Amino acid sequence: MKNDLARNARAVDHLVLPVAQLAEARARLTRLGFTVAPDAQHPFGTANACSFFADDTYLEMLAVDRPALYQAANVRSNSFTLRDQAYRFRNGADGFSGIAFKTADSRADHAEFKRRGISGGQMVEFSRAFVNAEGKREKASFRLAFAADLRAPDAFFFTCQRLAYPKTDRSHLTVHANGVVGLRSILMCETEPGDFAALLQGLFHAAMTKGNDGTLEFRLSNCNIEAIPARLFASRFGGHVPDLHGRGLRLAGLIFNTASLAVLEQLLDRNGVAFERKDGRILVPAASGQGTLFLFEGVNQ
């Protein structure tokens, strides 16, 4: 059974980080040494600025840029904008709200989420313009299926099926001055992670390891996800604990693989970015335009 789960474990597609303004997020990510793609708009009033990685994952910095379209989408019960609005209402404009997983069949995922009792609302299908490296305008289309738990209002999950996606060379966007080559781990925080074990194992399709300290670790096909007891989070990660609104899963941080911590440290010093060294990692606390804790580890660690 464990081997079957390992073979079928979901893969992370991208991470959703709400921000107040894309310009602020772009400036922050650039100071951190990330390459940031051009801004892109969704048809439902949001826009993003993304940083793509060589492991085929990416960060999506998400802002509300056309409020009238955004509110109209909420009236139509758009699952994506409703979850984004709820997150911003409870947590402010900067944060870490969602994980998107790769899929070849969002409709099957939607049916599964309904069967498990964890559907996060109606599916969303949309297209948006895409400008390639040569400046040619193309179209990308996606279909999303959502999962959620009423006990965890500050975290949502969805699968993302690429219905049409321009075949363009993005290699120039996956080279970063900070040496980041991909995602190592996603950090979650909760008072008692074990209360969410069945939900997360079913959602991730992944084998789970439970530590003696109550931490849950899931090995997805392209990264790990750790759900850490709130009482341990501060000591493990330098006192950087997300604001907690009582019980419920919180998306609390990201660990990146980087080529050289020494090079990264020099870059952060030059750019005036506050950071800490702890347990062989570099920790960068959340800031405006970067709504969650960023940690960096060497690729050979």
pLDDT band at 132 (very low <50, low <70, confident <90, very high): low
For residue 273, give the amino acid letter.
V
180-298 maps to which CATH number?
A: 3.10.180.10
Among 20, 67, 104, which Cα is nearest to 290's?
20
Per-residue pLDDT band at 172 (split at 50, 70, 90): confident
Q: Is 33 exposed, middle or buried (0-12, 13-18, 19+ CB in 10 A)?
A: buried
pLDDT-derived band at 1 (thresholds 50, 70, 90) equals very low
User: What value does the mean pLDDT take over residues 251-275?
Assistant: 97
pLDDT at 133: 58
Q: Which H or E element spans position 197?
A: helix 197-204
Residue 77, number of CB atoms within 10 A of its CB:
11
Q: Output the six-digit token pair for 249.
A: 């899963």
Q: What is the mean pLDDT of residues 162-185?
A: 88
**Of the candidate ranges 17-26, 137-146, 176-185, 196-205, the one whose mean pLDDT is the lowest:** 137-146
Rounded Cα distance, 69 and 53, in Å: 30
User: Residue 30 above 50 pLDDT?
Assistant: yes
The pLDDT of residue 15 is above 60: yes
Would you kindly state where each structural domain of the chain is located, as residue ranges? 2-170, 180-298
Whether 233 and 252 have beta carbons less than 8 Å apart is answered as yes
User: Same CATH topology for 2-170 and 180-298?
Assistant: yes
Considering the entire predicted model, what is its pTM? 0.94
Q: Does the pLDDT of residue 2 top 70, yes or no?
A: no
Q: What is the pLDDT of residues 192-251, one digit of tens each?
A: 999 999 999 989 999 999 999 999 999 999 999 999 999 899 888 876 777 767 899 999
Cα–Cα dist 295/180, whole Å: 11
Helix (H) or strand (E) holding 80: helix 79-91
Residue 57 has pLDDT above 90, yes or no: yes
Flag whether pLDDT at 18 surpasses 50.
yes
133-153 confidence digits (pLDDT tens): 566 677 889 999 999 999 999
Q: Check whether 65 has a pLDDT greater than 90.
A: yes
Predicted pLDDT at 300: 80
What's domain 2-170's superfamily in CATH?
2,3-Dihydroxybiphenyl 1,2-Dioxygenase, domain 1 (3.10.180.10)
